[in-house]
Amino acid sequence: MPRKIIVFGNQKGGTGKSTLAMHLVVSLLFKNYRVATVDVDARQGTFSRYIENREGSKKNAPEILMPDHTALFESGLDSASASEKENFERISELLGSLTDYDFVVIDTPGNDNSLSRIAHSFSDVIITPMNESFIDLDLLVRIRELDANDLKPSIYAEMVWNQKKERAIRDKMSIDWIVLINRMSSMMSKNRQALEKVLGALSKRIGFRSATGFKERVIFRELFLSGLTLLDKNIAGAQTSLSHIAARHELNDLLKSLNISGKDDD
């Protein structure tokens, strides 16, 4: 198996999974790791389009670093069991062909399907970004009046729990689950403080670690069109602002939470 398989997952769109995944991928490439990427949300294909845009920029800037990318579509078989079996075989075969890579980063759809569940079951790390909102928290765990003692795991949390069990039974391996607040407002709000407090209380109860992602910035939407990241700013030709520097610090914090250093530092 690859050294580490990182899955970005959440059954809600608009949480910045693809942006975080791409920045993580480029960070790993800059650290001289061999990185493969997989998009199991190939029908919508945001992650794949991000990489395609990056390939377009590489034509004018050959120094741009690229991962080896694969897009997987859901099985088209009518039978649910046959479809599940085909999806499992395809992911198993693909991951089996990627053993020479240090990292495999997988982006999943913002909904529940067989391919996404199976991808989760092969992960070493699951990263679940959520917006700075109790609406997003409700998709993770159902909680009443901010009482962490009165909760019921959501469908997604139950799915992650089931895939953790699947991974343990099949491979005798554990999955590290990280939930991070992403697309944060620039100012600390009472809402975020309450959200962080509840996440801290919930983390041990449903088995995840808390982290923080990126603040909401227009630059991320602009970079998507060129396939670039904040780490490519010299290539992009734009001056680095204080906002960009702050975002790089946020990215470094994410790498620290994953215990990732430079390859030569291992």
Predicted confidence at residue 145, as pLDDT, reads 53
Predicted confidence at residue 240, as pLDDT, reads 61
Predicted confidence at residue 52, as pLDDT, reads 96
DSSP character string of 97-125: TTTT-SEEEEE--SS--HHHHHHHHT-SE
pLDDT in tens, 89-103: 999 999 999 999 999
Q: Is the dihedral of CA 259, 111, 99, 123 positive or negative?
A: positive
DSSP character string of 116-166: HHHHHHT-SEEEEEEESSHHHHHHHEEEETTEEEEEEE-HHHHHHHHHHHH
Predicted confidence at residue 96, as pLDDT, reads 94
pTM for the model stands at 0.89
Burial (0-12, 13-18, 19+ Cβ within 10 Å), 195: buried
Predicted confidence at residue 11, as pLDDT, reads 84
Predicted confidence at residue 131, as pLDDT, reads 82
Predicted confidence at residue 91, as pLDDT, reads 95
- Coil, strand or helix: which one is 249? helix
Predicted confidence at residue 244, as pLDDT, reads 72
Predicted confidence at residue 37, as pLDDT, reads 98
Q: 23 near 223, Cβ under 8 Å?
A: no
Predicted confidence at residue 36, as pLDDT, reads 97
Q: 7 near 121, Cβ under 8 Å?
A: no
Predicted confidence at residue 248, as pLDDT, reads 79
Domain residue limits, the chain: 4-265
Per-residue confidence of the chain (266 residues) as pLDDT tens digits? Answer: 568 999 999 988 888 899 999 999 999 999 999 999 999 988 889 999 999 999 999 998 999 999 999 999 988 888 989 999 999 999 999 999 999 999 999 999 988 899 999 999 999 999 999 887 777 777 777 766 555 556 667 888 889 999 999 999 999 999 999 998 877 666 666 777 777 777 777 777 788 988 877 777 777 778 899 999 888 866 545 556 666 777 778 888 888 888 876 665 55
Predicted confidence at residue 237, as pLDDT, reads 54
Query: May I ask the CATH class of domain 4-265?
Result: alpha beta
